[in-house]
Amino acid sequence: MDCFEVIGGTPLQGEVEVAGSKNGTLPLMAAALLSNESSQLDGVPALRDIHTLAELLSSLGLNTRFVAQSLQLVPSGQDLWQAPYDLVRRMRASVCVLGPLLARTGHASVPLPGGCVLGVRPIDLHLRGMESLGAKVDLAEGCVLATAPKGGLPGGEVDLSGPRGSTVLGTANVLMAATLAKGESVLRGAACEPEIVVLIDFLNSAGAQIEGGGTATLRVQGVDEIHGLKGNVPPDRIEAGTLLLAAAMTRGHVKLTRCPVPQLQALLDTLELAGVPLERGSDWVRVHAEGAIFRNPVIQTAPYPGYPTDLQAQWMAFATQAEGTTLIREGIYPERFLHAAELVRLGAQIEVSDGSARVHGPTRLSGAPVLASDLRASAALVLAGLVAEGKTVVKRVYHLDRGYERLEEKLSSLGASVRRVVDEMGP
């Protein structure tokens, strides 16, 4: 098992390009199940989650092949509709195959993904949505079994709003099912995240009829079939945000290119409130934080265009370097604070209670071995290591490899001392 050895204290400097988006690519891959034609996605990041979904799609009769940064998805002509538990349990986003399988074959059997370190993470909104489109949904032996009426899903009125706003993958899932429905569907309370807008653009280019992308109401006129999906996946807003926070907290000077600037509005505004000097263009951002003193704006995570929960852990690492007490409220996953205890091992002063954290700063962090609990928590620990005195060893970086493409190489190219090594001590 690999770990990262990070020696802190070097301000990041230089220029780096943002990779393709993990959360943008996953629903596009699942959407390739909707078509009888081959799909090709370009600029796909080399990530563990992408490979896991590719394996799952192959088990469902969609052959996948990586050629450099392109992913080809070629239907084998077999109408397989039962997703194997061994693959689904590895990644929650696997639930995204439910909608396309149901729409194309009339059946889908997908094991319930179960909870994860972010909390319980139900899929009730996905299932309610499929029922509203006319599917029969049963739960048995840990599996969801969804069946369309003879002749296909009729389509219908769907409400996707849940206790914490909409659901991103739930919107993608129901939208994909509605694409091939017999009639019109209206999805209310839909997620407005950029990843949903991208999915709609790709589907419409392939012949789907979907209106309202980027708003809470989507109108879908079902079509009989769509072509293969083709195009470039967009840059990853969460990788971009992570790199910007790394540049800021090391008081570095970094230009980020191929940067999805409009999608990062909430982060960029908050960085400016925190006193981080920034310049931005249409697709680049430059942080020049040499000698900056950081303030402590309140962070409240919320659905897009609010501050993203996937950048909450990284902000917590940043907040250890800001003056005074930073209040962080987690509005999407109230239990997403496992990184706090590990940051405390590095010397951070953090209290967590009732879905909020208070970070008292600035603190001089000092290197230590720490355990990554999930993808974004791992990134936060690496960021903390970049400013800690001495050596920080971040264990279980397989979490990080799920969503960051060669992060150690990107940070090293900016002058950081980050090394991937085999963890001799084990997990």
* Cα 306 from Cα 331, distance rounded (Å): 10
Q: At residue 225, what are phi and psi to the nearest 5 degrees?
A: -155, 160
In the bound complex, what is the minimum distance in angstroms from residue 400's beta carbon to ligand EPZ? 11
Instruction: Give Cα 354 to chain centroid, integer Å.
Output: 24
Distance CA 274, CA 1 (A): 37
Identity at 419, one-letter amino acid code: R
Nearest-approach distance from CB 95 to ligand EPZ, in angstroms:
8
Identity of the residue, 144 or 322, whose beta carbon is nearer to ligand EPZ in the bound complex: 144
Which residues of the shown chain bind ligand EPZ in the complex (CB under 6 A)?
Answer: 23, 26, 92-93, 121-126, 162-164, 167-170, 195, 309-310, 332-333, 375-376, 403
Please state the separation of Cα 161 from the chain's center in Å: 20
How many other CB atoms sit within 10 Å of the CB of residue 76?
11
Nearer CB in complex with ligand EPZ: 38/265: 265
Between 374 and 423, name the residue whose CB sits nearer to ligand EPZ: 374
Smallest separation, CB 165 to ligand EPZ (Å) = 7
Question: In 10 A of CB 347, how many CB atoms?
Answer: 16
Nearer to ligand EPZ by C-beta: 162 or 369? 162
Shortest Cβ distance from residue 219 to ligand EPZ (Å)? 21
* Start-end of H helices in 274-356: 312-319, 338-345
Nearest-angstrom CA–CA distance, 391 and 393: 6
The sign of the dihedral angle between the CA atoms of 197, 57, 19, 116 is positive
Shortest separation between residue 339's beta carbon and ligand EPZ, angstroms: 12
Closer to ligand EPZ by CB, 92 or 391: give it: 92
* Catalytic residue flag (residue 116): yes
Q: Name the residue nearer to ligand EPZ (CB basis): 255 or 399.
A: 399
Strands 253-257 and 230-232: unpaired
Q: How far is the CB of 376 from ligand EPZ (least distance, A)?
A: 5
Burial code (b: 16+ CB inside 10 Å, e: under 16) for 135-154 equals: bebeeeeebbbbbbeeebbb
Q: What is the C-alpha to C-alpha distance for residues 33 and 29, in angstroms, rounded to an integer?
A: 8
DSSP 341: H
Residue of 96, 116, 143, 259 marked active site: 116
- Active site amino acids: 116
